[in-house]
A and B are shown apart, each in its own frame.
Chain A
Amino acid sequence: MFRPLPMKQVLIQLLADDLPRAALTLAELGVFSPCSKEGFNEHFPNIPGAHYRELYHQACSRLQKIESHITLRPALSISPTRVISEQELNTTNEWLGEVWERCSSFEEHFRRLTDEEHMLNQLEQTLDNFASLNIDLSLLHGERLFLDLHVGMLPSVNVPKLREAIGLADYLLFSYLENSNNTHVIIMGSKGAREQELRSVLDTAGFHALEIPPELDDKPDRIRTDLQQRRNAVALERAERQQAMQACGEELRAQLEQSRDLLILAESFVAMEDAARNVGHLAIISGWVPERELKRVESALHTTLDSPFQITASTPSRAEHREVPTYLPVNWLTSAFSSLVKQYGVPRYGEINPTLIFALSFIAMFGMMFGDVGHGAVIVLAAWLGRKRLKSFTPFVICAGLSATLFGLLYGSLFGYEHLFHAVWIAPLSDPLYMLSMALFWGIGFMVVISLLYIHNRLVSGEISHALFDTNGVVSITLYLSVLSGAYNFYQSGSFGWLPAALSIFTLLTLLAFKLIEIHAPPGERMLVATIETFETLTGYVSNTLSFLRVAAFSLNHVALAIAVFTLAEMMEGTGHVLMVIGGNLFILILEGAIVTIQALRLEYYEGFSRFFSGDGEEFKPLKLSLQGAK
């Protein structure tokens, strides 16, 4: 519960032909994490399945692209499972290639239709523009004897450059309309040898010629009707294409889903990567398995593999702990808390699993800061009603709500009313100083537990000197407690006390000496950094402890907000009063609820995790029959 599961490094020796079957079996079990072991690279230099992997990735990529056009139903469990041969994978890949080509041609066609629509818009604007010109437009169309004339449009950024360039060929460029990054231009020059030269540069500049309909000068309405007809034709074509695309999807969906299932089955072998190696017909698979699952793995392989194989398991040495993945088992209750812990990081193998400590302290602090029977009950009810949306976070919210309810009983508060029943413990506003001192004690307890966790983690990883002398180590916690004890003595009797004073000085000097040894820098810099870091250790403890005063502050704040709501409600009568109480309570629930959640998380992450938890461990990710590759 407090530690990641013990892991074993396993080596499976088998025949190369059995590799895909073994990979599939391991993926079905879902308890094996493949990991290459360097020591074997020399004896087993080959990584099998390079072509298989390439086919798989290409097929996955094609399926993924196809899925953006054809929606597939979610994958259900695949039964019975079977090994996918390279030939079968190749056939599937080729078929997916053909399907993608169809989808791609649809995509390209849609793009062309969009371009055409854009062009029609441009043309319409051109007509508007020409219609207002006081020139004989019939001069702009048709072939001329001496004049080479082009009307069209091009990206606006290319216009100045093109004007200069065609000037070299004695052509002129006039722009008459500019819109949405395109400029409409008329280009003219004398007919002759440089016509071809012009066409080439026009292509490079992205010039599109525009038709000048002969009827333009006398029948603009007819042209507009033509344009509208073309626009309708484009819309019709788009609709037809979309329909065809839909029909294509209906026709292919079942086969595509089969292909997806096939890729899921093929993925187990692909995901082995360099954890599976071979030399000739002999092969190995290396990776990690939780100790408790070892027998199940062995027996499953015995059942599925026809040829002989050997499985050996070894316990990782302390020096190897950094390479061991951390397996943090979760259940429906702890899943959300575990996700929040992973937001910070994954503990190293052997370190304390902070999930349970996090869960308990978070729930407690939320309740302390948000204690109200009514609000807690609303949170529980809301979490239950919204369980489909909250998914794994439902238990998390319910626990927070229950904690708020429990502390509501202790504080005697129901929807902010403080007089409806007697507080089992204390109404926060009746003695704020007492509440603050309780929060301080909670903070001290929290800091001590966190330091003990740090000491444990350092001892587990063999860093004894850090466990004893580093910030958060034995010496630091002794310094912290002796300073606290001295401060308490001083508060009680006016004197610090010789024992706390002696302990404080001794531990402070020890800490300084350790820092001086640890820091590698020139003497002056070393002294300066060590002094600052030692001082920072002490101030860090003090400030982090004081940070917990917010636990009491928010419990007081909760009551104060309720008083504010009731004061406003008192100023109204009848429905107004009721609405104010309901609205005020909703305001408290939503706004303060969110703030309290953030504050509790902040205390956990900053005051807690940052002190004992490096968070740079590697999570155990077992091979599974999933859609990881296909997604």
Chain B
Amino acid sequence: MISMSSQSYLKARASVMSGQLIDEDAFESLLHAPLPQLEGQFGLEGISDRGLSPAELNRTIERGLINQLMNELSILLRPLNGAARESLIYWSRKFELYNLKALIRGKLNNLPYDLIRESLHILPSRISLPHEALLRTENVPELLRQLERTPYEAIARQARQVYEEKNESFSLDATIDLRYHAGLLKHAQSCDREDQVPLLKLIGSLIDRQNLPWLLRYRLNYQLSPTETYYLMIPSGRHIHAELLKQLVNMQGMPQILEALPAPLDSRLAGSGTIMAVELAMTEDLNHQARRCLQFSPSAVTRSLAYMMLREMDLRRVFAIIQGRVLTLDEQLIRQAADLDREVTGV
């Protein structure tokens, strides 16, 4: 139970921190700002002068931005306790799951140690796996045995079953995502009643963003059956609820699926011709929902989670800009990578 004073403090904190969120105009100016200024603004001073390889550069920028995100998360966690705190920490575990997927994928494809290591995020110890020990494993079964000795034991067990039955990485990825989102929902459900409803709505939007593009991929690209596609979907979406998902997985083409979506998704996704376009539109929808939560939600922890989601989205775009600028890529390419030509929906 969060006290009234902590609620007020956290709302004020989230509100102050929301000043750091970057609007579209600011993104435009970041694209044209001098590189040293850009690096300084995000705590990455001098990275372009260090003569790093593209891979090292990626790693350095990504690490810097994730550090920033984790520092901000630590600030928001301070007044929180109990289930609300755990929910916010659990959200941040997604970064470690990226690592987990990279590790499993790397081991499945027999990638060399350095290559896998380069793709891992450096994270705070509270969510981090023992990377070195996992990297030094020599095959997937050994990796899974090691993982079974970590807090990710449940995921590892599930991953083992999928690996032994199917031996393919996309099923593993889907299973990991499924467990992660189910865990996030479970954490939100154990929060106080006043936090629970808004949190579930926000997480529902996150799940919708995850479900729809993957539904299209599973059905149209991987040709999975409706049954298996539905099994790999995460229930409890905000607009795309379980019953609708059952109808969607039985449909054969993208236009048919998009037409069957409820408002406001139908209008937002109208005209999306590719899965990538659908993903961008869903990200935009999530952005819109999160901004609403940040401004109007009665729950402080929901505002905090909304802020972290938005900040993550912003920093990903900043990452694309800095990376493109340091590698002196074509401006159009950077604009595309940082999604700078999106249409902005008002809150």
Contacts and interface: CB of A to CB of B under 8 A. Distances in A.
Nearest to A101: B138
A206 B228 CA distance: 13
B158 A155 contact: yes
Nearest to A64: B136
Given A54-B113, A157-B182, A197-B225, A204 B145 contact: no
B145 A107 contact: yes
A61 interface: yes
Interface residues of A, number: 31
Given A61-B136, A161-B235, A204-B165, A197 B158 contact: no
Nearest to B249: A168
Interface string A150-168: 0000010100011011101
Given A200-B228, A201-B228, A111 B145 contact: yes
Given A58-B136, A104-B138, A108-B141, A168 B166 contact: no
Nearest to B158: A206
A168 B113 contact: no
Interface in A103-141: 104, 107-108, 111
B47 to A, nearest CB: 17
Contacts of B142: 104, 107-108
Given A161-B235, A162-B231, A204-B175, A168 B226 contact: yes
A168 B138 contact: no
A203 B165 contact: yes
B250 interface: yes
B228 A204 contact: yes
Contacts of A107: 142, 145
A39 to B, nearest CB: 17
B242 interface: yes
A197 to B, nearest CB: 4
A168 B182 contact: no
Contacts of B141: 104, 108
Contact of A204 (B171, B235, B250): B171
Contacts of A162: 231
A198 interface: yes
B242 A164 contact: yes
A97 B158 CA distance: 28
Interface in B151-204: 157-158, 161-162, 165-166, 171, 175, 182
Nearest to A196: B225
A494 B238 CA distance: 80
A169 interface: yes
Contact of A161 (B114, B136, B231): B231
A111 B145 CA distance: 9
B319 interface: no
Nearest to A160: B235
Given A165-B228, A197-B228, A200-B225, A97 B138 contact: yes
B227 A168 contact: yes
A58 B142 CA distance: 15
Nearest to A161: B231
Contacts of B145: 107-108, 111
A47 interface: no
A168 B250 contact: yes
B231 A204 contact: yes
Contact of B246 (A57, A97, A108, A164): A164
Contacts of A101: 138
Contacts of B226: 168-169, 197
Interface in B123-164: 136, 138-139, 141-142, 145, 157-158, 161-162
Interface string B304-345: 000000000000000000000000000000000000000000
A155 B157 CA distance: 10
B147 to A, nearest CB: 12
Contacts of B166: 203-204
B173 to A, nearest CB: 12
Nearest to A65: B136
Q: Which of B114, B165, B227, B232 has the most CB of A within 10 A?
A: B227
Contacts of A100: 138
Contacts of A57: 136
Given A203-B165, A204-B232, A165 B227 contact: yes
Given A197-B225, A200-B228, A204-B228, A168 B165 contact: no
Contacts of A173: none
A561 interface: no
Nearest to B135: A61
Nearest to A110: B145
A552 B141 CA distance: 64
Which residue, A61, A97, A162, has most C-beta atoms of chain B within 10 A? A61
B138 A206 contact: no
A232 B166 CA distance: 31
Contacts of B182: 157
A299 B220 CA distance: 74
A5 interface: no
B180 to A, nearest CB: 13
Given A108-B145, A204-B175, A165 B138 contact: no
Interface string B222-241: 00111110111001000000
A600 B231 CA distance: 64
Contacts of A200: 224-225, 227-228
A15 interface: no
A165 B175 contact: no
A58 B113 contact: yes
Interface string B203-231: 00000000000000000000011111011
A210 interface: no
A162 B145 CA distance: 26
B162 A168 contact: no
A205 interface: yes
A133 B179 CA distance: 35
Nearest to B243: A164
Interface in A58-84: 58, 61-62, 65
A97 B138 CA distance: 9
A197 B225 CA distance: 6
Contacts of B165: 203-204, 206
Contacts of B224: 200
A204 B229 CA distance: 11
Interface string A170-195: 00000000000000000000000010
Contacts of A97: 138
A54 B142 CA distance: 20
B246 A168 contact: yes
A201 B235 contact: no
A108 B242 CA distance: 39
A164 B230 contact: yes
Contacts of A157: 182
Interface in B235-278: 235, 242, 246, 249-250
Contacts of B232: 204
B243 to A, nearest CB: 10
A168 B224 CA distance: 13
Nearest to B132: A61
Interface of B: 113-114, 136, 138-139, 141-142, 145, 157-158, 161-162, 165-166, 171, 175, 182, 224-228, 230-232, 235, 242, 246, 249-250
26 contacts: A58-B113, A61-B136, A97-B138, A104-B139, A108-B142, A108-B145, A155-B158, A157-B182, A164-B230, A164-B246, A165-B227, A165-B230, A165-B231, A166-B227, A168-B226, A194-B227, A197-B225, A197-B227, A198-B227, A200-B228, A201-B227, A201-B228, A201-B231, A203-B162, A206-B162, A206-B165
The 6 residue pairs across chains A and B that have the minimum distance between CB atoms: A206-B161, A203-B165, A165-B231, A61-B136, A197-B225, A201-B228
Given A57-B136, A168-B230, 16 more contacts: A54-B114, A58-B136, A101-B138, A164-B230, A168-B227, A168-B249, A169-B225, A194-B225, A197-B227, A200-B225, A201-B225, A203-B165, A204-B228, A204-B231, A205-B231, A206-B165
Interface of A: 54, 57-58, 61-62, 65, 97, 100-101, 104, 107-108, 111, 155, 157, 161-162, 164-166, 168-169, 194, 197-198, 200-201, 203-206
